[in-house]
Amino acid sequence: MQSAITAEVVEPYAEALMSLTKSEDITDEVAYSVRELKNLFEDSDDLRIFFASPLVSVEDKKEVIRKIAEGQVHPFLLNFLLLLVDRKRIRFVEGIFSKYLEIVRQLNNVVLAEVTSAVRLYEGEAEKLVEKIKQLTGASDVEIQTKIDPDIIGGVIIKVGSQVYDASLKGQLRRISFSMLGKA
């Protein structure tokens, strides 16, 4: 039930932010700031707990937002964050930001690819992956989220939407094992 409530809150606010940024022609500028703030929230448990707490006053929450965002983000985004505090919706900010970025990607024909590799990808490798993902999906551009998982041994696993491309050594070994078992 919680996810239905979250969706009822997240989508309208993300769409409202999109509508506002499109009307002012600042979608990409705000999207950049949204990514930065989303990362900040994701990386800070303390910040998430602070904003979710009903014991923290609205004014204290607004003061922290001003310290974090004022002069760093477009004034529309700052006002949007303050509105979320006023409406007691700031605890949904990560979901709202994720949905907003999803809408921006759809508008710009950009896909989000979750790339898991055994080791950190180097610049040239990431660029080759972007080109390959563009070919596979027909997207204009690719936004990559990387994750490191030494268990895959080598290669990469690429997830784009519901499609998974497993080019990991672990996946190849698993497929060989299945094919040997099938022929035995």
3-state secondary structure the chain: CHHHHHHHHHHHHHHHHHHHHHHCCCHHHHHHHHHHHHHHHHHCHHHHHHHHCCCCCHHHHHHHHHHHHCCCCCHHHHHHHHHHHHCCCHHHHHHHHHHHHHHHHHHCCEEEEEEEECCCCCHHHHHHHHHHHHHHHCCCEEEEEEEECHHHCCEEEEEECCEEEEEEHHHHHHHHHHHHHHHC
Residues 123 and 97 both lie in one domain: no
Residues 74 and 122 both lie in one domain: no
Number of domains in the chain: 2
Give the whole-number percent of the chain exceeding pLDDT 90. 49
Say what the pLDDT of residue 136 is: 86
Residues 117 and 64 both lie in one domain: no
Domain that holds residue 117: 109-183
Residues 76 and 156 both lie in one domain: no
Least confident of 3-7, 24-28, 100-104, 162-166: 3-7
Residues 62 and 113 both lie in one domain: no
Residues 38 and 66 both lie in one domain: yes
Say what the pLDDT of residue 1 is: 38
Residues 12 and 100 both lie in one domain: yes
Residues 8 and 99 both lie in one domain: yes
Residues 142 and 89 both lie in one domain: no
Residue 113 sits at φ, ψ, to 5 deg, of -115, 125
Residues 127 and 88 both lie in one domain: no
Q: Answer yes or no: pTM beyond 0.85.
A: no
pLDDT in tens, 164-175: 888 888 888 888
